[in-house]
Amino acid sequence: MLSSLWNLGAFIVALSILVAVHEFGHFWVARKCGVKVHRFSIGFGKVLFKWFDKQGTEFAVAAIPLGGYVKMLDGRIDKLSAEDEAFAFDKKTVWQRIAIVSAGPAANFILAVIAFFFMYMIGVNSAKPIVETTQVGSPMSVLQDVKHFQVMAINNQPVEDWDSLNLALVNQIGENQFNITVQPLKESNPELSSEPTKSFTVSLQDWQFDPKTESIISSLGLIPYMPEIYLEVGQLTQGGAADKAGLQIGDKLLSIDGDKLNNWQQFVALIQKNAEQTLQLEIERGTITQIVKLTPAARRLESEIIQGHIGVSPVIETYPEQYRVKLQFGPLAAMDRAIEQTGLLTKLTFNTIVKLVSGDISVKNLSGPVAIAKGAGMSANYGIEYFLGFLALISVNLGLMNLIPLPVLDGGHLLYYFFEVVTGKAVPEKVQEIGFRIGGAILITLMLIAILNDFDLL
């Protein structure tokens, strides 16, 4: 319950920022072009509070935080006096109207750059993409002779941490193949070896990827390096099932109901499938071996699956410092990286949209508000720098999606205006109205698919 409320709160904050920035882009350029603005609203429905500026514009925050709008004086809607015509949107030149409409998406791209800038100024702790091995029979099995390596580049695009590798691989969805460059590492020492880098061509002909059940990393067959996890209690949650059973930090786990435990993953699997079932857990405490009666508590997952948990975490080998990386830069370098990252995300989003239209990517990959809310909550939970990165990602997506030439979106309006530039005549109102209805139907359909995907109903 608390996690859901946290996700919702983070989602509302993120969406409010994105909408405010997008609509401010329209508002600011409209003012510069001499257009009268009646209202600037964040949210829809009942107005919670409002105020007016010196030019008579009403600024409002409404009850439903799922969007916003800028209401401008427009002769197609408002009855204009002779004095009003100079301040109406539809009476401005076509290039002024193009500027006003384009300003919303442009503001989102600017927000992404600013968010990435502060993220890189604060610094992001991350890990280098170190791979232990590859899965037999997977697309990455072409690297099976290379063990313990760092991924250096995808299609000659450098990657420096798992996040950048993930984005580079997402960009390969719908492709037939890609090139990967790796650097072999010393097995005994976590440093780069003197061996030269190696490049391989990875075929995607038989690759199947379901984002609902696996990560793109695992689906391709990369097995990341993980520090060794010991069958030893490292931490206990006070009041948890393990604490109530009398487990102590330092206890070594030997067997459950007489079955020997070989690794931590096996232990977790047994706990999860035995909710509210009393287990005989054999432990070693110091030099003494004893049996502890352990009854995992039950929790219901969002998929309605009942899972056992006991509130314990293991002793984990220290992660090598050489495998860590902190992406932190000075002002000039941070701005350069922010612009570069915004460009990469824009390219990735554009390619994804093209692949969705062409059918290379299934609509099952569309995410709706629930998935976005979870992402907002998770990123906010990790820290402000991660939330800024998430905000930049969604801002780029919002900016580019709004430029799709679909009536009802900014891109649809721009399509009409560029038609006017070329022909010298505005698109007839009836044609525009038909376009808006078709565009609205397509948009609602896509939103419905995204929401159904969120609830795993497709």
The secondary structure of 273-335, three-state, reads CCCCCCEEEEEEECCEEEEEEECCEEEECCCCCEEEECCEEEEECCCCHHHEEEECCCHHHHH
Closest CA to 324 of 210, 160, 212, 457: 160
pLDDT in tens, the chain (458 residues): 555 666 666 777 788 888 899 999 999 999 999 999 999 999 888 889 999 999 989 999 988 877 888 999 988 888 888 787 889 898 899 999 999 999 999 999 999 999 999 999 999 888 899 999 899 989 999 998 888 899 999 999 999 888 888 888 888 888 889 999 999 887 545 555 557 889 999 999 888 877 667 788 888 999 999 888 999 999 999 999 999 999 999 999 999 998 999 999 999 999 999 989 999 999 999 889 999 999 999 887 766 678 888 999 999 998 888 888 888 999 999 999 999 999 988 888 888 777 776 666 665 555 544 444 444 445 445 568 888 888 888 898 889 888 988 877 888 889 889 998 999 888 888 887 887 787 767 766 766 665 555 555 44
Single-letter amino acid code for the residue at 137 = G
| Beta-strand pair 130-134/252-256 | unpaired
The residues assigned a catalytic role are 23
Amino acid at site 168:
A
The pair of three-digit structure tokens given for residue 43, joined into one six-digit string: 């949210």
Positive or negative, the CA dihedral 322, 328, 329, 335 is positive
Reduce the DSSP state of residue 189 to 3 states and report it.
coil
Q: Which long-range contacts (CB under 8 A, 24 or more apart) does 254-257 make?
A: 254/282, 254/283, 254/284, 254/289, 255/281, 255/282, 256/280, 256/281, 256/282
Class of domain 126-227+319-327: mainly beta
**Contact status, residue 142 vs residue 56, Cβ threshold 8 Å:** no
CA distance linking residue 12 with residue 303, whole number of Å:
24
What stretch of H or E contains 355?
A: helix 331-358
- Element of type H or E holding 90: none
Q: Is the pTM here over 0.85, yes or no?
A: no
Q: How far apart are CA 272 and CA 299, in angstroms?
A: 9
CA 395 – CA 410 distance, rounded (Å): 15
Element (H, E) at 287: none
- Give the CATH H-level superfamily of domain 229-316: PDZ domain (2.30.42.10)
Residues forming CATH 2.30.42.10 domain(s) in the chain = 126-227+319-327, 229-316
Burial of 83 (0-12, 13-18, 19+ CB in 10 A): exposed
Residue that has been written with the tokens 């922010």 in this structure: 338
What value, to the nearest 5°, has the Cα angle with vertex 31 and ends 53 and 76? 105
Phi, psi of 125, deg, nearest 5: -80, 125
Query: 52: number of CA atoms within 13 Å, CB side?
Result: 5
